Structure 1
Amino acid sequence: MNVLDALAVFAAGIAAGGINTIVGSGTLITFPTLLALGYVPVVANVSNNIGLVPGTVTGAYGYREELKGQRERLLRLGSASVVGAIVGSLLLLGLPAEAFKFIVPALIVVALVLVVVQPRLQRWMLRRREGEGRAHGGPWLWAGVLLAGVYGGYFGAAQGIVLIALLGIALDDDLQRVNAAKNVLSAVVNGSAGLLFIAMSIFSDTRIDWWAVLLIAAGSIVGGLIGARVGRRIPPLVLRGVIVAVGLVAIANLLL
């Protein structure tokens, strides 16, 4: 990796850290960047997942005020995130590498659709929540968070959007507090998957590019802090447009 490549990965990490905190689609920035630099898809995905963990932590820290009073809720839902992340990670490592090339483009398409329809999802969430007082969301939310964790452990682009949609529908709470909870659960998923990937790299032939991990991690830490501080000032339409453009590039890189 030369200096320009390193700067590109670091910059992608900053963007991804900020986007993950605000929206939850940062992988659509870093993953295509690694593909464009010639990384094998599975290696790019594993390295990217580990690298984004510090950014999810700083993003959650930036929302610490909105997290007050959510400890019991997050402990309950966090257990679903851990289980789902482990299942998704094992699927990534257990399925043939060729399967990833076919599955991920479909996942990216789903993620891009979620990015585009996010405003409608949010309006629907607000209508569904009126007059309801659910503190933890019940077993259906736990199951939904589990499935989101499986998705996050396998690939993870737009898992934040999936989570905020689920949480917003099931919980009677302010959307900023819902977003704060989303950041914590995303951190749990990425952290659990990252630990499993590291363990597998020690005891098996799972490949991790640690230079990519370090550069993405450094960038995502900065991006997570920035995203938590100034995220509300970024025009949503502009942000969604950038994410969709990068996602289309990722699909092209995988299919061509």
Structure 2
Amino acid sequence: MNFADVLLLSGSGFVAGAINALAGGGTIFTFSALLAIGLPAVTANATSAVSVLPGQIASTFAYRREIGRAFRRLLPFSLVSAVGGILGGLLLLNTDEGAFRALVPFLILFATVLFMIAPRIASLGERMASRRQTNAPGPLATGLQGLVAIYGGYFGAGMGIMMLASLSLTEGRDFHALNAAKNWLACIMQGLAVIVFIVSGAIDYGAVAIVAMAGILGGWGSVAVGRLVPQHIIRQFVIATGLALSTWYFVA
């Protein structure tokens, strides 16, 4: 790994940490940077998942009180997230490298489109939640969360946005409850997928160290960024980058 690779990984990790803290979608940056330095697509995806997990855990810890209050209600979601994360990780490791590389532009495009329509997804979830007589997870919400977990273990980019649809059915309009649940479940599904990746040996630990450290700094520095840059500008930056990267991988 040369100096340019270290610089690219550090920059992607820093940007991803800041973007994840402010708007979500940072995995697009770390995964693409890991591909750019020459890692195989499956290894790049597994390495990216390990790299962003510390920041995810830190965010979840900050919401420990909200999670504690909602723990019993979130238990069905937690169980399907655990199973789905493991299945998604195993699915990734059993996907042929060439086949997964061919899926990359579609996965990035899918994650970008999800990011674009996230406000509509949240609004739809709120309307559905307002029609429910109880906030206990029903079969639809639980099944949807299971599918999200499989996707999260397999690729991860955009899974937070996908969870808005399932979690809005139970958490309604309470932003902190929704964000706490999302972070908790993301930790479960990605944490178990990461265990699968580590056991399989599909990790570049040198890259993990660089991206993870930069991601922590980016998350911390996002406080200043959030005060200076309007969120709609940040969202437009993520969308433009995602569309550009998916286009690049389609033609590359």
Output the TM-score relative to the length of structure 2: 0.88
Letter in 1 for 2:91: L
After superposition, the C-alpha distances for 1:136-183 in whole angstroms (9 at most, x for unaligned) are 322222211111111011111100000122211343351221011101
After TM superposition, the structure 1 = structure 2 runs for residues 1-256 of structure 1, keeping only pairs within 5 Å, are 1-130=1-130, 132-201=132-201, 207-225=202-220, 235-255=230-250, 256=252
After superposition, the C-alpha distances for 1:174-225 in whole angstroms (9 at most, x for unaligned) are 1221011101111111111111111111xxxxx3211111112222333445
Q: In 2, are the aligned partners of 1:105 and 1:254 still within 8 Å (CA)?
A: yes
| CA shift for structure 1 position 251 | 2.1
Inter-CA distance 188–22: structure 2 relative to 1 (3 Å threshold):
farther
Q: In 1, are the aligned partners of 2:105 and 2:246 still within 8 Å (CA)?
A: yes
Counterpart CA distance in 1 for 2:75 and 2:170 is 16
After superposition, the C-alpha distances for 1:78-123 in whole angstroms (9 at most, x for unaligned) are 1111111111111111121111122232222221111111122223
Counterpart CA distance in 2 for 1:235 and 1:125 is 25
Q: Secondary structure at the match of 2:25?
A: coil
Q: In 2, are the aligned partners of 1:17 and 1:223 still within 8 Å (CA)?
A: yes
Counterpart CA distance in 1 for 2:154 and 2:125 is 26
Inter-CA distance 65–15: structure 2 relative to 1 (3 Å threshold):
farther
Q: In 2, are the aligned partners of 1:24 and 1:159 still within 8 Å (CA)?
A: no
Tell me: higher relative CO, structure 1 or 2? Use CA pairs within 8 A at least 6 residues apart: 1
Structure 1 residue runs without a partner (length 5+): 202-206
Q: In 2, are the aligned partners of 1:104 and 1:155 still within 8 Å (CA)?
A: no
| CA shift for structure 1 position 42 | 1.4
Q: Secondary structure at the match of 2:67?
A: coil
- Amino-acid identity (%): 36
Q: In 2, are the aligned partners of 1:108 and 1:251 still within 8 Å (CA)?
A: yes
Structure 2 residue runs without a partner (length 5+): none
Inter-CA distance 232–70: structure 2 relative to 1 (3 Å threshold):
farther
Q: What is the aligned length?
A: 250
Q: In 2, are the aligned partners of 1:35 and 1:250 still within 8 Å (CA)?
A: no
Inter-CA distance 181–19: structure 2 relative to 1 (3 Å threshold):
farther
Counterpart CA distance in 2 for 1:85 and 1:75 is 15
Match of 1:204 in 2: none
Inter-CA distance 170–75: structure 2 relative to 1 (3 Å threshold):
closer
Counterpart CA distance in 1 for 2:226 and 2:71 is 24
Q: Secondary structure at the match of 1:38?
A: coil
